Amino acid sequence: MEKRQVLFVNLRRIEREGLESLLAARRLGYEVVLLGRSLPPFAAPLVTAFYQVDTYDRATALAAARDVAGRYDIAGVPSFTEVDVQLVAAIAAELGLPGMTTDAALKARNKYHMKQGLQDMRDVLPTYHRVRNLTELRTAVRDIGLPAVIKPTGASGSKGIFELRDEDDLEAAVEQLEKIARPQFDAVFQQFGAEFIVEEYLEGEELSVEGLIAGGEPHVVMVTDKLTSAPYHLELQHVMPSALPSDVLAEVQATTVQIVSALGFDNCAFHLEAKWGPRGMKFIEVAARPAGDYIVSHLVPLSCGIDYFANVVRIAVGAPLELEPDRDLHAGLRFVLADRSGRFEGLGGIEDVCADPGYPYFFLEHPVGTEVTLPPASFGLQRVAAVCARHVNRAGLDALLSDVDCLVSARVTVAETALA
Ligand SMILES: Nc1ncnc2c1ncn2[C@@H]1O[C@H](COP(=O)(O)OP(=O)(O)OP(=O)(O)O)[C@@H](O)[C@H]1O
Ligand SMILES: [Mg+2]
């Protein structure tokens, strides 16, 4: 029988995740047609046809998708990437395939519209305001108080998260954000640009919820404990399943289901971020695509055996989900950070990690030789490697992950001109 195709719109930036998404489609018996800005060499053997298009130009990309649909038997358009959530929704609607509404896709992409869409759930929201300049920020902070957090409405990957602890921080944050929130700094800013949301600072344990929603029915697959760095909130460690007490987890899961339903999410993966603190669960954001940082591509299969990416493809083609866990293990991942700016020369101690069966995967985040800079000059370069660990219990997993800090170090050499 002739194979059908699924249409991918770009690939996830992390190649290991992009590879896993392509392999998931193939496991289910589909060929992949890729519409995107580029075809990375690793993907070429797994892609039946590649259509190069500027996916930030929605009309052109939509026309290209129509053309693809005329040539191939497209069974679904899975959503794997953050910036393409709205385009994927538009393509699915155009081709009559499972997808989400334009309105839900906007709420998924813009942190301000997202929070506006949850006005009936004020208990879980921080106080927040949308701001575009210092004057608006000052007014907003009078209402919210300090500490607060200001961040772009349409970014991801912890680009431009600024804590505001005292009045003097306001001007500095706006100055930095105005530099960052431009398409020249990062293409993610093409759509919403220099638009920011300022929120009260939430205290508590950070967590994320990995789920899937198909035909209007949400499923929580996993709750993950998260650690972030100070002060720029880079994600440092993810551990699953969460060690929060079972009654807390039940509340987190129920609130998550209410949130994704209230936002109108459908036929997508979701990745919700929240804090559990003195006032219960407080919502940070939810994305309508799979989690990054290897959370669902690698950690979920290691921990419970659910093939999360295959389910993302199943949703897109309208096939029943397969959500039965086949194991009950603890999995986690810890990032190795550069402690200074300079040339990334490799890692010390990696042989020990590779020799230890407790660490099933090790990932380099950048090629050796990359010039790394630290936040706020750049937000995507400080994490140079990631080490994944697995154990039958949480204490064992925690020990493996904390050993990573002792075992592995990033070698960074500082240019002599910088020292002079
Ligand atoms: N109101 C808040 N209070 C406390 N911490 C916050 C708040 N908002 C954001 N943070 C911190 O900053 C991190 C990143 O924020 P957010 O998730 O909104 O941005 P993002 O760019 O989408 O990040 P990512 O893509 O890495 O998830 C959060 O995970 C959290 O650690
Ligand atoms: Mg986030």
Residue 74 Cα to ligand 2 midpoint, Å, equals 31
The residues facing 34 across adjacent strands are 8, 50
Tokens linked to 128? 């927040």
Q: Whose CA is nearest to atom 30 of ligand 1?
A: 233
Span from the CA of 274 to the centroid of ligand 2 (angstroms): 9
Q: For residue 398, give its domain range.
A: 332-420
Give the model's pLDDT for residue 352.
94
Q: If the chain, 420 residues long, is cut into consecutive pieces of 10 residues, what is the mean pLDDT of each piece? A: 94 97 98 98 98 97 98 98 97 98 98 97 97 97 97 86 95 93 84 91 97 98 95 93 98 98 98 97 98 98 98 98 98 97 96 96 96 91 97 98 96 76
**151 falls within a domain:** yes
CATH number of domain containing 396 = 3.90.1170.30
Q: What share of the chain is helix, strand, coil (3-state, %, to 5)?
A: 35, 30, 35
Domain count, the chain: 3
For position 233, what pLDDT does the model report?
Answer: 87
Among all bound ligands, the one having the nearest atom to the CA of 127 is 1
Last-in-domain residue among 167, 200, 233? 200
Q: Pick the ligand that lies closest to the CA of residue 150.
A: 1
Instruction: Tell me the backbone φ, ψ of residue 402, rounded to 5 degrees.
Output: -75, -30
Q: Hey, which of 234, 273, 295, 296 would you mutate to test ligand 1's pocket, going by the most ligand atoms within 8 Å of its Cβ?
A: 273
Strands 31-36 and 49-52: parallel
Smallest CA-to-CA distance from 272 within 214, 224, 331 is with: 224
- The pLDDT value recorded for residue 419 is 58
Dig out the tokens for 65 from the structure: 């998708």
CA of 245 to the centre of ligand 2 (A): 23
Tell me the CA end-to-end span of the chain in Å, nearest whole number. Answer: 67
- Three-state secondary structure call for residue 159: coil
Specify if 312 maps to a domain.
no
Residues lining ion ligand 2 (Cβ < 5 A) are 273
| 387 in a structural domain | yes
Q: How many angstroms separate the CA atoms of 329 and 358, rounded?
A: 12
The DSSP-derived string for 184-215 is TT-GGGGTT-S-EEEEEPPPSEEEEEEEEEET
CA angle 263, 91, 285 (to 5 degrees): 25
360 and 406: one domain? yes
Give the max Cα distance, the chain.
67
DSSP 355: H
Asked if residue 227 is part of any domain, the answer here is: no
Any residues with Cβ below 6 Å from ligand 1, and which? Answer: 126, 149, 151, 155-159, 161, 199, 201-202, 206, 228, 233, 235, 273, 284-285
Report the C-alpha gap between 308 and 304 in whole angstroms: 10
User: Is 417 domain-assigned?
Assistant: yes
What is the CA(202)–ligand 2 centre distance, in A? 14
Does 355 lie in the same domain as 403? yes
103 and 139 share a domain?
no
Nearest CA to ligand 1 atom 23: 158
- pLDDT of 187 reads 81
Residues 67 and 141 in one domain: no
Relative to the CA of 126, which ligand 1 atom is closest?
1
Residue 247 lies in a domain: no
Out of 45, 73, 107, a domain closes at 107
177 in the same domain as 131: yes
- Cis peptide leading into 147, omega within 30 of 0? yes
CB 197 within 8 A of CB 153: yes
Residue nearest to atom 22 of ligand 1 (CA): 156
**Same domain as 87, residue 17:** yes
Listed residues 169, 200, 231: the one ending a domain: 200
Q: Report how far ligand 1's centroid is from the alpha carbon of 290 (Å).
A: 16
Residue with tokens 């259509």: 51
Q: Read off the CATH number of the domain in which 136 is found.
A: 3.30.1490.20
Domain assignment of residue 75, yes or no: yes
